[in-house]
Chains A and B, each alone.
With several copies, the nearest count.
Chain A
Amino acid sequence: MKLAKVLIANRGEIAVRVIRACREQGITPVAVFSEADREALHVLMADEAYPIGPAPATESYLRIDRLVATAKAAGADAVHPGYGFLAENAAFAEACAAAGLVFIGPPPAALRAMGDKTAARRLARTLGVPMVPGTLEPVASDDAARAAAAEIGYPLMLKAALGGGGKGMRLVRAAGDLAGALRAARSEAAGAFGDSAVYLERYVSEPRHIEVQVLADAHGHVVHLGERECSIQRRHQKLVEESPSPCVDPALRARMGEAACRMAKAAGYVSAGTIEFLVDPDRNFYFLEMNARLQVEHPVTEMVTGIDLVREQLRIAAGEPLGYAQADVVARGAAIECRINAEDPFGGWLPSPGTITGLRAATGPWVRDDSGVYEGCTVSRFYDTLLAKLVVWGADREAAIARMARALGEYKVVGVRTTIPVLAQIVAHEDFRAGRLSTHFLDRILPGLTAARGRLRSVAIIAAVLAEYERLGHHTLPPPAPAATDAWRMAFRPGAGGGRR
C-alpha cells in the first residue's frame, strides 16, 4: 500500500523532522497541537493542523482517543508517533490498528515485549546476547538478594524491574549496605512505577553507553546501521551523541550489530529500533534494553550511513522491503549531535521557558539543524526543554569536532538560556577530544565548568552600557538596516532633476 496522508502525533523538532520526511516522500503531513502550540513550528510547517486539547500533555499529546479521532477525521491513513509521548505505547498502536490506521512503528506485541525489561532480558539471555551478570528476575526477598549479591560480587547495582531514568537505582558498595539500599530502591520504584520489584546487576565502572541502530522490514529482513556513542549524559539525559563510537572497531561493531539484529529478529521487530548496550573499559558489551522507537539521536547515524531513517520507517510501514542487505550499509566519516536545550547550565540547569527573541542557527557545510523553534516563538513550560539538535558531519572525528565547535560558536539564541555554552566546553574538553568517555564523564567535569570569564569582560561591559545608552534614547545606534541606502541618499543629487514618487 502507498501512504498518502500521515498524522504526526507529536510536537517540537521530531514533528518537524517527520513532516519533512513526509513531504519528501509525497505524503501529506498532518500536525496536531495543544492550546500552547498553536504557533509552534510543526503547525506552521504541516499541510494541515488540528487542535487536540489543553496544554498539559495528558490532555492533548497523550490523549489516544483524540489523536485517533483526529487522524480519522483528517483522512490520514497512518500515524507517526515520533519519540516520547505515545511512541512506545502498545495501547496506542492497537487503537490505531483498530481504527484502520497504520501505526508507523513496531507491532504492538514487539512494543509490549520490549517495554517489559525482564522479558527483554530473558530474550537476550535465550539468544546468548551478553548481559551484565546479575539476577534475571527480580529478587523475591532480602535473603534471595543477599545470596545473589554474594555470587555477583560487590559493588553492585539495584535496578527497578520497570525502571527508567535512574529511578529505583542504587549503587551498593558492600554487603552491609544491601538491606538499606533494597528498602530505598523498592520504595522509590513503587512510587515511580507502581511496582517495587528490583533486580541485581554487577556494577560496571566507567561504562560507556553505546547503542546499535537496526532497521527491520515486515518481510523478515533486518540490518544494523552501526552504533552511536551516547555516554555524555547528565541525570540519564543524553547531551552529546556521536557515530561511530571512538572505542568501537570493525570487529566489535560486527559483533554488536549481529547481536542487535538477532534480538530484533527474535522479537518480531519491525521499523527502526535501537538496542542499547553498556560497554566496559575492556570493550566487553552487555545488553541493556531495546528502544522500540526512533531515537532523538538518530541523525548521527543518518549522516554517516546516508540512510534516511524516517523515510525508511515510512517505506517499511507501507509494506515495502528494505531492498538492501548488511553489506550495502557503508558508513563514512563521523557525525556528532549536540542537544540545544532551554536550560541554564550555569544556573543549576533550571529549565528556561520564555520567548525566543533572537535566533541565528548555525548552518553551512555539513551542518544540520533539526530544530523545533523559530525567532519569535514561545518555549512553553509544559514540554521538554529540547529546542534543536545541532548535527555535524566530518571526514573524520577530528574534523567533526572542529566543525561542531565552529557551529556552536555560530548558534545564537536570545531570550532563553540554553545548553550551548556548556556544549562548547564539552566539545573543547581534552577527554572528549581524545575519546576518553564514560557515562561519568559529564558528572566528573561539570563541577569544574563555569561560564567562561575574563578575556571579554570589558567587551561585555561595553555592550551592556551601549544597550542602556541606546535604551535611554539619547544617542541611538544606527537602525538595523541602513548603510547602503543612506550612503546612497547622500550621493543622490536632487538638483539633477530627480524627484521622489
Chain B
Amino acid sequence: MRFVATLEDGVEPVEVRGEGGRYRLTLGDEVWEVDARLTAQGIYSLLIGGVSHVAEVTDDGGACVVDVGDETWVIRVEEATRHIIRTRGGGPAGHGGQTLTAPLPGRITHVAVKPGDRVEKGDTLLVIEAMKMENEFRAGMAGTVAEVRVGAGQAVNAGDVLVVLET
C-alpha cells in the first residue's frame, strides 16, 4: 500500500507491505524491516534492526503528532491517490487572507481589533485566557480585519474561528 507523508520539511512517498506485526516499508529508496506492536492506545513499539523505539502517535486534527525518543514530528499521512487528488492543481487556491482559529478552549479576555482595522504583522489581535494563563494572539501578516467573530468575555472552543484577515 502506498502512502505519502507530509512533514514540515518535506514530502515522502512510503510503501508498506506486511501484516501481523512484521512490515517492510520503503521510504524513497531506503527499505526498512520493522517489527511493530501497539502496546497501548497510541503507543507503538518498533524494533528496527534490533534498535528499540517507542513512538507515541496522537491524532491532531488530521495530522499525526509523533513523539519518539526526544523528537517530536507533525506528519500528515495520506493514501497516495488521495494525496495526488488533494494536491493536484496546487491544493486549495490561496485565498489571500488568514483566519485565526482558537488553538485551545478558553475565554476571550481582550479583543484588540474591529472589522475594517488595518493591522501589521505581529500586532495583537486578541487574548485568550485558559489554565490561568493569558495567551496573546498576533497577526501573522499585514492586512485588514474582515471579521471579528468573538467578543471579550466569550467562551470559545478549540477550532472556533476568531478573526479573519484579508490582504
Contact = CB atoms under 8 A, between A and B. Distances in A.
Interface of A: 31, 38-39, 43-50, 74, 342-343, 346-348, 350-353, 357-358, 360, 374-377, 381-385, 409, 412, 414-415, 417, 421, 424-425, 451-470, 472, 474-480, 485, 488-489, 491-493, 496-501
B112 interface: no
B47 A49 contact: yes
Given A374-B40, A421-B70, A480-B40, A351 B135 contact: yes
Contact of B5 (A384, A465, A491): A465
B142 interface: no
Given A357-B42, A358-B40, A452-B71, A485 B105 contact: yes
B30 A467 contact: no
Nearest to A70: B50
A467 B64 contact: yes
A419 to B, nearest CB: 12
Contact of B57 (A39, A383, A467, A496): A467
Given A461-B12, A463-B55, A376 B68 contact: no
B75 A460 contact: yes
Contacts of A451: 71-73
Given A421-B70, A467-B44, A48 B51 contact: yes
B98 interface: no
A353 B131 contact: yes
A421 B131 CA distance: 20
B102 to A, nearest CB: 9
A457 B149 CA distance: 39
Contact of A381 (B30, B68, B104): B104
Given A353-B131, A412-B67, 20 more contacts: A39-B37, A43-B47, A47-B51, A352-B104, A358-B42, A383-B131, A451-B73, A456-B73, A462-B46, A466-B25, A467-B44, A472-B1, A480-B37, A480-B40, A488-B105, A492-B156, A492-B157, A498-B161, A499-B149, A500-B157
A224 B30 CA distance: 55
Given A49-B47, A462-B32, A477-B21, A498 B149 contact: yes
Contacts of B21: 38, 477-478
Interface string B48-79: 10111111111001001111111111010111
A384 B129 CA distance: 11
8 contacts: A384-B132, A451-B72, A456-B69, A456-B73, A459-B53, A492-B157, A499-B161, A500-B157
B159 A500 contact: yes
B110 to A, nearest CB: 12
Contacts of A43: 45, 47, 52
A412 B7 CA distance: 23
A500 B52 CA distance: 37
Interface string B1-44: 10101010100101010111101010100101011111111111
Nearest to B76: A464
A476 B19 CA distance: 7
A479 B38 contact: yes
Given A50-B50, A358-B43, A466 B34 contact: yes
A500 B27 CA distance: 36
B84 interface: no
A387 to B, nearest CB: 11
Given A353-B104, A477-B21, A461 B157 contact: no
Contacts of B93: none
A457 B74 CA distance: 10
A73 to B, nearest CB: 9
Given A47-B52, A465-B25, A383 B40 contact: no
Contact of A351 (B27, B40, B77, B131): B131
Among A375, A453, A454, A470: residue with most chain B CB under 10 A = A453
B150 A384 contact: no
B3 to A, nearest CB: 5
A377 B61 CA distance: 20
A453 B135 contact: no
B122 interface: no
Contacts of A460: 55, 66, 68, 71, 73, 75
A351 B155 contact: no
A30 to B, nearest CB: 8
Given A461-B75, A465-B14, A480-B39, A501 B161 contact: yes
Contact of A498 (B58, B67, B157): B157
Given A459-B53, A488-B157, A453 B75 contact: no
A412 B11 CA distance: 28
A486 B32 CA distance: 26
Contact of A385 (B25, B50, B55, B133): B133
A458 B132 contact: no
A49 B133 contact: no
A461 B45 contact: no
Contacts of A48: 50-52
B105 A381 contact: yes
Contacts of B58: 357, 414-415
B160 interface: yes
Contact of B151 (A39, A353, A496, A500): A496
B143 interface: no
A146 to B, nearest CB: 33
B167 interface: no
Contacts of A462: 14, 25, 27, 32, 34, 36, 46, 48
B81 interface: no
A376 B27 contact: no
Nearest to B75: A464
A385 B65 CA distance: 20
Given A48-B51, A485-B105, A498-B156, A463 B131 contact: no
